[in-house]
Amino acid sequence: MWRAFFIALGIMAIIVGFESLVIDSANIYSDRGSSAKEFFSPSTIAGQTTITWQPKEWFPWLVLSVGTLIVIYSFTLPQRFRPSGD
């Protein structure tokens, strides 16, 4: 079970690394909650907070390398814990 968890974690890190290589910035929307007035009157603008995230130049390469190391290491785990008599 741990092996599958770490493989999934490594693959997710690789995907995030490739995505951050492609994008320039990402907008993260956070909803502050809605009031009854905003619910009944669709003409009002819902209160959203926007955060713009721009990855540093080194970030995609770091996440790609860490994800790759996690996947490679998790594939070698079964051989590490095998008894030496086999």
At 45, list the tokens. Answer: 């603008």
Distance CA 68, CA 65 (A): 5
Q: Is the pLDDT of residue 69 over 90?
A: yes
Distance CA 62, CA 59 (A): 5
Residue pLDDT, tens place only, 5-64: 999 999 999 999 999 999 999 888 766 666 666 566 656 555 567 788 899 999 999 999
- The three-state secondary structure class of 57 is coil
Considering only residues 7 and 82, tell me which one the structure prediction assigns the higher pLDDT.
7
- Output the pLDDT for position 75: 86
- Residue 79, CA distances (Å) to 2, 10, 27, 54, 74 in order: 14, 19, 43, 40, 10
